[in-house]
Amino acid sequence: MNINPIQTVSKFNKSSKTSNKTSRIDIDFSDVLSNTNLVPLSLKEIKDECWSNILNQINSEPPEDREEDLRIFGDFRNKGYTFFPDSLDAQKKILPCFPPATVPGHIREQFNNSFNNLNITPDQKDVIIDCLKKGYAQYFKEHNNNNLALYDKNNFKDSISFLIKYVEENRQYLAADTKVDIEKGLYKDLYEPTKDFLNNFLKHLK
């Protein structure tokens, strides 16, 4: 797939009043009070600058990863998520999504395409994704390894294997059993399609 370069110009270097060495995310409130030379930007200016910075960095990624990164960052931006003028990798570490944003875009695209092809309703897909987020958070907690914030193929495969066991042990998260859910047509055990999907994804993960 050919991805056209994203046309954007960063505004980060237009002002000499802010430090080139210190990211705004590293400046806390006490720093603002003690540094009278800091000239704060308006919230809109900050958001515009951060977004331009993100687009520039996405544009420098491998072509096969750009489209998915642009989609996920665009989705979060449309939901009102505030980004910071840090590196793209730093931003990816804190995005609350699954698969983690640190996973290369083409692999996340593979995951999402397979997941979206499941013959279940959007609400049921939300139930599954919520369960997978819980499972990945548990995996992260149990391994207590800061390196998990960075992408490693073997670690990611291990996390998928962990999720397969997690959904088996926590099937209650994949069964809608309230009256409201029944009325919405959500009364369906989602364990089997979730297990089959994860096993198939792991099998084809390269």
Low-confidence ranges of the chain (pLDDT < 50): 1-41, 178-179, 182, 186-187
Domain boundary residue among 95, 126, 148? 95
Q: What's residue 46's pLDDT?
A: 61
pLDDT at 89: 86
Final residue of a structural domain among 52, 72, 95: 95
pLDDT of residue 197: 94
Cα–Cα distance for residue pair 103/106, rounded to 1 Å: 8
What pLDDT was estimated at residue 153? 86
Verify that 127 and 200 share a domain, yes or no.
yes
Instruction: Give domain status of residue 132, yes or no.
Output: yes
Give the per-residue pLDDT at 142. Answer: 85
pLDDT of the residue at 44: 67
> Average pLDDT over the chain, rounded to whole?
74
Residue 48 domain boundaries: 24-95
Amino acid at 118: L
Q: Are residues 113 and 87 in the same domain?
A: no
Using CA atoms, how far apart are residues 131 and 174, in angstroms rounded to an integer? 7
Whole-model pTM: value is 0.67
**Residue 100 within any structural domain of the chain:** no
Render pLDDT for 62-81 as a digit per residue (tens, 0 to 9).
Answer: 999 999 999 999 888 888 88
Can you tell me the distance from the alpha carbon of 89 to that of 195, in angstroms, rounded to the nearest whole number? 30
User: Is the dihedral angle over the CA atoms 197, 143, 92, 132 positive or is it negative?
Assistant: positive
* 29-71 pLDDT, tens digit each: 334 334 434 344 455 666 778 888 888 999 999 999 999 999 9
Same domain? 34 vs 53? yes
CA contacts within 13 A on the Cβ side of 11: 10
144 plus 59 within the same structural domain:
no
Are residues 121 and 48 both part of a single domain? no
Domain-embedded: residue 49 = yes
Domain count, the chain: 2
118 and 176, same domain (yes or no): yes
Q: What is the spatial distance between Cα 18 and Cα 37, in angstroms, rounded to a whole number?
A: 8
